[in-house]
Amino acid sequence: MTAQAPLSAQIAAALDWWREAGVSYAYSDEPQEWLEEIAQEGAPPPMMIRAKPKPPPPPPRPRLGGEVGQWPKTLAEFAPWWLGEPTLDPTGTSGRVTPRGGVGAALMVVVPMPESMDAETGELLSGPQGKLLEAMLRVMGLSASDCYIAAALPRAMPAPDWDLLRHEGMGAVLAHHIALAGPRRLLLLGDRILPLLGHDPSQKPALLSPINQSEAGNGSPEANGTPVLAAQDLGMLLENPRRKAGFWRSWLHWAE
């Protein structure tokens, strides 16, 4: 009967067998918490990435023209307010031009904005567009003294955001301006002006209908029912003289 080798020799033989098989370490399928062990050894904990808080939304921009209750009550008060009211233009008051004319004019003409040279001359429509308007008025049998000439914006701007201006209340300012002027007729030269007053530009037949200023946010019954004609702006009429014929036909139909 063969004598059994000592236990230490058996263990050594088993280790030699596994070593010859290429296994140098003892492995286990059980998961181990390494991070917990590192933390216990005094190692710094892993860095946590925290999401940055969202910045607060910007404060709402003030309504163009400020509080409606502080708007001018007469046309004589309108011109200095138009020049100095800071909320009409966030960039400042430089370059603004006042309208010209008096209350109850036979015709009020509204253009989108002053001409670029008006800030230097101090007179609205002092350039080529103004000369064209004077010629048009003479053909219509009107003079400058018969008319009230105004602009929807206080100064010349390179690329106004008309949708934003309407949203922020410039249409209500224009409606109030028209109500203070109280003209017998209203001529809007520019396709951006009617939308300021709440009109859908796709509804072309309505261009010859009376304008209701209360629907534009003014609420002044004195301005309701003013006959209005809308046409292309003076710049476009200068660029394409053929459009003058279309305007003249509209004018004759409207003024008859």
Indicate if the pLDDT at residue 142 is higher than 90. Answer: yes
61 found inside a domain: no
What tens digit of pLDDT does each residue of 17-57 get?
Answer: 777 766 666 666 666 666 655 555 555 556 666 777 787 77
What is the spatial distance between Cα 146 and Cα 131, in angstroms, rounded to a whole number?
16
Helix (H, G, I), strand (E, B) or coil at 230: strand
pLDDT of residue 119: 93
110 found inside a domain: yes
Q: Would you tell me how many other CB atoms lie within 10 Å of the CB of residue 68?
A: 14
149 found inside a domain: yes
At 181, which CATH number? Answer: 3.40.470.10
Structure tokens at 158: 């390179």
1 found inside a domain: no
232 found inside a domain: yes
Given CA atoms 67, 166, 203, 241 in this order, what sign does their dihedral have? positive
Q: Would you tell me how many other CB atoms lie within 10 Å of the CB of residue 27?
A: 5
163 found inside a domain: yes
What tens digit of pLDDT does each residue of 150-190 get?
Answer: 999 999 999 999 999 999 999 999 999 999 999 999 999 99
What is the spatial distance between Cα 29 and Cα 204, in angstroms, rounded to a whole number?
81
67 found inside a domain: no
Strand partners of residue 150 = 110
- Percentage, residues of the chain above pLDDT 70: 75
13 found inside a domain: no
- pTM over 0.85? The answer is no
Kind and range of the H or E run holding 252: helix 242-255
Structural domain span for residue 249:
102-255
Q: How many domains does the chain have?
A: 1
